Amino acid sequence: MPQLVPFYYMNEIVFAFAIIVFILYVLSKYILPRIVRL
């Protein structure tokens, strides 16, 4: 089991990074055009 621990943490980091990238993509796609129009 100890060899799975680094893989688990790596998976968590990749998952969190994917969520952050997705949020930034949504923000840039939907919120930035509204700010530019104002």
Q: What is the pTM of this model?
A: 0.58
Element (H, E) at 37: helix 32-37
pLDDT tens for 18-29 read 999 999 999 888
Is residue 34 pLDDT above 90, yes or no? no
Which pLDDT score, from 0 to 100, does residue 36 have?
81
How far apart are alpha carbons 7 and 9 in whole angstroms? 6
